[in-house]
Structure 1
Amino acid sequence: MTIEQQLAELLGDRAPDRISEATALGTGLADGYDFYESPVGDIVVTFNPRGVSSVTLASEDYEDYFRSRFGRPLLRADAPGAWGRLIPERIEAGSPGRLPVDLRSVTEFQEEVLMQAASIPKGEVRPYGWLAVKVGNPKAARAVGSTMARNPIPLIIPCHRVVRSDGHIGAYSLGGPEQKWQLLTVEGARPDDLEDLAARHVRYLGNTSTGIFCHPTCRAIRRSKVENVEEVRDTRQAQELGYRPCSLCQPV
């Protein structure tokens, strides 16, 4: 199918009669795509003049998926040179950094949640409720979970570092829980330990020496001596035990 035919199918009478692929890409009427390696296998990264627009597993139906979700055709192309070389680096880092991203497909609330998720350090996780508080809507934990499921740019916006409010690992949009577990293992987040703590209703860890309590993956608690680490069920128990919140991971 030619680019004109694809645009006619998507835009109807608003589609141009004639347009080159280069013009379609340059004006954002179509997105480019290329294949990249990742810890969960080959992926398809799409992009347009605004930035990276989606990340999906490299499957037979990725073009149909993109057209259905974003309403634009895909064309095989090299990412713009100005930032295209950043894509493999940001896949490895698990954060956008200076790489521009196109989040037109999500709401303003969802964009705020996704960009807050992008601040979670590699090797650490945060629960839905933490993100809800960070975006100023403490009761929106369920909406945060839905936002993670709809993240158009997984890996680069690291929704795999967001876990359920009860601490369990939860689902993952880029493949499923197995891929999420794999990513967290590669990053050193120890998902087995997280699941064990969640099963015992332990949300935080306290340091009896420093008097702070942290999320279990926080680098501050990871540096603590084992004999100084105490399991804490919730923020209420943390207060009862005299702990103060860690300034790094900011438990809420």
Structure 2
Amino acid sequence: MSDEPLLARLAELVTDAPEGLIDRIAARWVTVGGPVGEMFVAYTDHGIAYVRPAGDDARREFRRRFGRPLLPAPRPPAGLVPALRTGDAGGLRFDLRELTPFQAEVLRAARSIPRGEVRPYSWIARRVNRPGAVRAVGTALATNPVPLLIPCHRVVRSDGSPGRYIFGSDLKQHLLRSENVNLDEMHDLARRGVFYLASDTTGVVCFPSCRHARRIAPAHRRGFRTVAQAAAAGYRPCRHCQPAAEAA
């Protein structure tokens, strides 16, 4: 007998439930290996809904937060395991219906940050057209139901320091270093008041973690505190990392 009362009652029906009914009512769950150990992953008919370290606490928190019964799944949903392994979840769908529109928009912006790069909280705030809501962005990221897959760990403070993370700041640094983010270089630049790097050959200014900034030869690097200073010196914002979102 199921330990979920609703599912137990459905099992007592004289006829079979209509196809798909169970998946519209319940969520499926699996445990899979991830970059921070064994993970509990729950998903619904709308997509991945919840990711946390495996254990009874994760199942209890899912039921409390989502109000759905849980059924064990025979196998992970397609694409989940490689997404956790590579940090690229582009092929997955997510169930973000329990979030507010603002929270969901913040997570969609965070999802766009490529592996190996980071963006400041203020970049997210401007991406969601709320430039003054940096603190609210941090709160929204702290409620991320699907960390690792939607990479809120790639959002950092404007001084380049990692900032808080749902699994702890040490683990955040571990994840970023495992993705080859140039944290040490960013910290060194920030101590010197440099938050953007430009190339005097391409005329483009980037965030220091941007793939294009990391290709600039030392002799052709120019550092700036703000995008406005770079623009005044004749540099245009990188189309890939879009630092113009930082301009005051």
Judge same fold: TM > 0.5, yes or no: yes
Check the 8 A contact 2:160/2:183 in 1, yes or no.
no
Among candidates 222, 241, 244, match of residue 233 of structure 2? 241
Among candidates 84, 87, 92, match of residue 99 of structure 1? 92
- What's the secondary structure of 1:90's corresponding residue? helix
Shift of 1:134: 1.4
Match of 2:197 in 1: 205
Match of 1:63 in 2: 59
Name the stretch that deviates more: 181-190 or 57-66. Answer: 57-66
- Residue ranges of structure 1 left out of the alignment (5+ in a row): 8-15
In 1: Cα distance, 2:189 partner to 2:37 partner: 29
Match of 1:13 in 2: none
Identity in percent: 45
In 2: Cα distance, 1:141 partner to 1:59 partner: 33
Match of 1:220 in 2: 212
Q: Residue 50 in 1 paired to residue 46 in 2?
A: yes
1:161-218, CA deviations, whole angstroms, 9 ceiling, x for partnerless residues? 1112333211111x21111111111111122223333344432111122221100111
In 1: Cα distance, 2:194 partner to 2:142 partner: 25
In 2: Cα distance, 1:170 partner to 1:198 partner: 14
Structure 1 pair 20–223 and aligned structure 2 pair: CA distance change class (3 A): farther
Match of 1:145 in 2: 138
1:118-153, CA deviations, whole angstroms, 9 ceiling, x for partnerless residues? 111110111111111112221122211111111111
In 2: Cα distance, 1:240 partner to 1:155 partner: 38
Q: Residue 126 in 1 paired to residue 122 in 2?
A: no
Among candidates 9, 24, 27, match of residue 18 of structure 1? 9
Shift of 1:94: 2.4
Check the 8 A contact 1:32/1:78 in 2, yes or no.
no
Structure 1 pair 101–25 and aligned structure 2 pair: CA distance change class (3 A): farther
Instruction: Give the CA RMSD over aligned residues.
Output: 2.4
In 1: Cα distance, 2:112 partner to 2:161 partner: 20
Match of 1:40 in 2: 36
Among candidates 181, 185, 197, match of residue 193 of structure 1? 185
In 2: Cα distance, 1:229 partner to 1:97 partner: 32
In 1: Cα distance, 2:130 partner to 2:191 partner: 27
Figure out how many residues of one structure are paired with residues of the other and give that number: 239
Name the stretch that deviates more: 138-147 or 49-58. Answer: 138-147
Name the stretch that deviates more: 40-49 or 70-79. Answer: 70-79
Shift of 1:86: 0.7
Check the 8 A contact 1:214/1:250 in 2, yes or no.
yes
In structure 1, give the amino acid aligned to 2:10.
I
In structure 2, give the amino acid aligned to 1:18.
R
Among candidates 140, 165, 169, match of residue 172 of structure 1? 165
Check the 8 A contact 1:25/1:31 in 2, yes or no.
no
Name the stretch that deviates more: 87-96 or 175-184. Answer: 87-96
Shift of 1:25: 7.7
Structure 1 pair 103–79 and aligned structure 2 pair: CA distance change class (3 A): farther
Check the 8 A contact 1:169/1:195 in 2, yes or no.
no
